[in-house]
Amino acid sequence: MATEQKQGMRNQGQQGAGMQEGRTESSVIPDKDYNLVSVLYHALQGAEIYGKYIQDAKQQGDEELASFFSEVRQEDLRLAERAKLLLGQRLSGGRQAGARGSA
């Protein structure tokens, strides 16, 4: 699977700067916002997966590992919340990349 991911990343790099696989120049959402949605998706997906890792570790009696996975899960949830806030600001016409000050 890691080889497939590397191949996919290599192909994305060959498509040109700022282009995502399956995306075109005329895509409705700007790349920066698309990337933010991607970060949100992957953070939430990670948090869900880490929840399963926590259960596995607890079932096998490894509280130290369960605690570690819990920390990782909390970090992904924190990042997801931040991504939601940033995305909401951008989609509602609030603060844009590079802008300073409050929304």
CA 36 to chain centre: 7
Among 10-24, 26-40, 61-75, the least confident range: 10-24
Break the chain into its structural domains and give their ranges. Answer: 29-92
pLDDT in tens, 45-75: 999 999 999 999 999 999 999 999 999 999 9
pLDDT bucket at 100, cuts 50 / 70 / 90:
very low
pLDDT for the residue numbered 22: 60
What single string gives the DSSP state of each residue in the chain? -HHHHHHHHHHHHHT-TTPPTT--TT-SS-HHHHHHHHHHHHHHHHHHHHHHHHHHHHHTT-HHHHHHHHHHHHHHHHHHHHHHHHHHHHHTT---TT--S--
The yes-or-no verdict on residue 1 having pLDDT over 70 is no
